[in-house]
Structure 1
Amino acid sequence: MPMLVSGLVAGLILGLASGGSWRNLARLDLKLWPALVAGVTARTAAPLLGALALSASIAGLLLVALAALANRAVSGAWLIGLGALLNSLVISVNAGMPVDPEALALSGKAPPSDGLHVILGPDTRLSFLADVLLLPIINNIYSVGDVVLAIGGFWMVFRLVRSR
């Protein structure tokens, strides 16, 4: 969820910087917001849940996708839903989010031991959806789903703040 939050914050900052208004945020009538809150909470808490980490992570992503579907009329919501579904798909078929070992080596990071990630290998399914995108400027590794989530979050808040 860090990429979603980054997208939301960037959308807010750029929306305000380009003449948008805080007041427009009050216009958002978020449907199924408890599902969104529960999904983000589950994803955030997942690394602390031991054996339940993977289930909590997938459930959290599916709740975010459900909330996005319910709010599909809001700009960017469908991208948030798509990103969450892409991540839940690759995590589900691999029993964890695969991480590219080369990207880990380039970033200087140790392989994750949080129960949520697995090392990408020859048996990895849907490897193009795995954490394979190293962003050197912030030294982190992301998936296509993460990027789609961030773009959706950015677009949602940017459009909302800039609406007239």
Structure 2
Amino acid sequence: MIITAAILGLVLGLLMGGRWRSLLHKRFRLLPLLFSAFILSWLLSVHFFSDWLAGSDHVWLWRSVIAALQLAAMSFFLLVNRRKPGIWFIFAGGLLNGLVIIANGGRMPVGPAIDRFGEAAAAQINSVPHYFTASGHEPLLFLADLYPVWTFGTYMVSLGDFLIAAGVLWLGLYMSRPVRRKNRAAVSQLTS
């Protein structure tokens, strides 16, 4: 759903007079933090890392710490770039998702609506390291992936995902807009 929102935002931006070239001129500060957050998120989602952590007596703690580091890196990146359109929505959605993931040992609970997609989808949830089927007593369950969505596939999404998608759509619209740089000579004449 979030990727669909990003594509839709870019396409709408281009249809509204935006330019592909503008994508290359948009600047984000501290991009390594964003990449660090994605790497930490990826670690929580791959089997070999989960299998390696399984040898520890503190799997739940380690997964929670990694999720907290991922949330911190992403949050700091977003706060530094907060003037970009849509960033506050992405920040709010990421915070909601991060809180429920940290509270559940680095894994996102998935609600019973997953059954709408069939038995295979429900069975697959527990085979993925960073998700699990909720029993109904998990902390912050109201922030979990509870809502079924169909966008180029079937997904379970959370309230945080809806906020992230709205922010990404808005950011996508902004990304194709032409960059308007101030003429430094004109600015210096105005200020002198």
Indicate whether the TM-score tops 0.5: yes
Equivalent position of 1:80 in the other structure: 90
Write out per-residue CA displacement over residues 61-92 of structure 1, whole angstroms, 9 at most, x where no aligned residue.
Answer: 33222211110011111111111111110111
Task: Please report how far the alpha carbon of residue 54 of structure 1 lies from its aligned counterpart in structure 2 after TM superposition.
Answer: 5.3
Matched, 1:123 2:137: yes
Amino acid at match of 1:100: G
Tell me whether 17-26 or 124-133 shows the greater mean CA deviation: 17-26
Relative to structure 1, the CA distance from residue 76 to residue 161 in structure 2 (aligned partners, 3 Å threshold; closer, same or farther) is same
Amino acid at match of 1:80: I
Equivalent position of 1:47 in the other structure: 45
Equivalent position of 2:14 in the other structure: 16
Equivalent position of 2:78 in the other structure: 68
Matches within 5 A, 1:75-114: 75-95=85-105, 96-101=107-112, 103-108=113-118, 109=121, 110=123, 111-114=125-128
Matched, 1:159 2:169: no
Task: Please report how far the alpha carbon of residue 37 of structure 1 lies from its aligned counterpart in structure 2 after TM superposition.
Answer: 1.2
Task: Please report how far the alpha carbon of residue 55 of structure 1 lies from its aligned counterpart in structure 2 after TM superposition.
Answer: 4.3
Question: 2:67, 2:4 → 1: CA distance?
Answer: 19
5+ long unaligned stretches in structure 2: 54-61, 181-192
Contact 1:76 1:155 in 2 (8 A): yes
Relative to structure 1, the CA distance from residue 6 to residue 62 in structure 2 (aligned partners, 3 Å threshold; closer, same or farther) is farther
Write out per-residue CA displacement over residues 86-131 of structure 1, whole angstroms, 9 at most, x where no aligned residue.
Answer: 1110111122211112x22111202333332232233222222100
Task: Please report how far the alpha carbon of residue 45 of structure 1 lies from its aligned counterpart in structure 2 after TM superposition.
Answer: 3.6
TM-score normalized by structure 2?
A: 0.74
Amino acid at match of 1:150: A
Relative to structure 1, the CA distance from residue 56 to residue 5 in structure 2 (aligned partners, 3 Å threshold; closer, same or farther) is farther
Contact 1:71 1:77 in 2 (8 A): yes
Equivalent position of 1:26 in the other structure: 24
Equivalent position of 1:148 in the other structure: 163
Tell me whether 71-80 or 4-13 shows the greater mean CA deviation: 4-13
Task: Please report how far the alpha carbon of residue 145 of structure 1 lies from its aligned counterpart in structure 2 after TM superposition.
Answer: 1.1
Root-mean-square deviation (CA, aligned residues, Å) is 2.1
Task: Please report how far the alpha carbon of residue 156 of structure 1 lies from its aligned counterpart in structure 2 after TM superposition.
Answer: 0.9
Task: Please report how far the alpha carbon of residue 159 of structure 1 lies from its aligned counterpart in structure 2 after TM superposition.
Answer: 1.9
Q: Which runs of 4+ in 1 moved over 4 A?
A: 52-55
- If you compute each CA radius of gyration, which structure gives the higher value, 1 or 2? 2
Question: 1:105, 1:161 → 2: CA distance?
Answer: 39
TM-score normalized by structure 1?
A: 0.85
Amino acid at match of 1:35: L
5+ long unaligned stretches in structure 1: none
